Amino acid sequence: MKPKEMYKMMLSESITPLFKEKGYKKKNNVFVREYPEVVQIVHLAASSWNLPDYYDFSIDFALFSKPYYALMQYELPKSWFNSSLHRPILGGNIQHLKAPRGYTPNYHIVAETNMSKVTEALRSDLINYILPYIDPLRSTDSLIKAIEVAKEQDIFGSLPNIHDEIILYYSLDHKETAQAKLIEALSIEHGNPYYKPKLIEIAEKLGLVLP
């Protein structure tokens, strides 16, 4: 059996049931669970370097805010299974969550691989790290709290973004906080030419005051 077929069998027999019992929908190797305000996505992302004789993958996750799309007058994705085309509010990889405990290699499958061990390791990472982190993030309020912790611990790199915080706080009717975040964002020197225009767009759409 080819490594990719071994992976697909593991996915079907051991991983998909785990997600389905928690209310996720599945398409290929992407799992999606929707709430009124937040969309939770887990992607078992295949390596772009895979060949017929080996199959590598890792665990990515992403969190999207529906109020963000509404306030910015953006069209919601036609399918959250294609969410990689859009920028999440918060997202990362299994390595982000396990980094303090040491380096986490990708999952690697070849013809001789003991699939029981790979399955056990994958389920362990999903049950002990990915799903417990994502599960409580079902509302804008919980998402903001997660962003505050993520920024303090610096665990997701460029995510989260202060642009997003402005919109999330505004969606909770915390307009003074949103205004303060806008002023803070404008005070930051940034080399990205799209940085300030994005802030201006946000201010105009939300009715915030530009200094």
66-101 pLDDT, tens per residue?
Answer: 999 999 999 999 999 987 778 899 998 898 888 755
* CA–CA distance, 94 with 88 (Å, rounded to integer): 16
What confidence score (pLDDT) does residue 157 get? Answer: 67
What confidence score (pLDDT) does residue 101 get? Answer: 56
117-128 pLDDT, tens per residue?
Answer: 999 999 999 999
What confidence score (pLDDT) does residue 138 get? Answer: 97
One-letter amino acid identity for 140?
Answer: T
β-strands 107-109, 30-34: how paired? unpaired
Q: Which residues pair with 58 in a beta bridge?
A: 45
Band of residue 154 on the pLDDT scale cut at 50, 70, 90: confident
* CA–CA distance, 90 with 148 (Å, rounded to integer): 11
* Residue found by looking up tokens 């992302």 in the block: 45
Among 4-13, 61-70, 182-191, 200-209, the minimum mean pLDDT is found in: 182-191
25-70 pLDDT, tens per residue?
Answer: 999 999 999 999 999 999 999 999 999 999 999 999 999 999 999 9
* CA–CA distance, 168 with 143 (Å, rounded to integer): 9
Whole-number CA gyration radius for the chain:
19
* CA–CA distance, 172 with 18 (Å, rounded to integer): 33
The model's pTM is 0.92
* 3-state secondary structure (DSSP) of residue 90: strand
Q: Which residues contact 110 (CB under 8 A, 6 or more apart)?
A: 3, 53, 54, 55
For 133-147, give the DSSP string.
HHTT--SHHHHHHHH
Band of residue 160 on the pLDDT scale cut at 50, 70, 90: confident
13-31 pLDDT, tens per residue?
Answer: 999 999 999 999 999 999 9
Tokens of 93: 């990889």
Residue 103 has pLDDT above 80, yes or no: no
Higher pLDDT, 110 or 191: 110
Compute CA 194 distance to the chain's CA centroid, rounded to the nearest angstrom: 22
What confidence score (pLDDT) does residue 120 get? Answer: 96
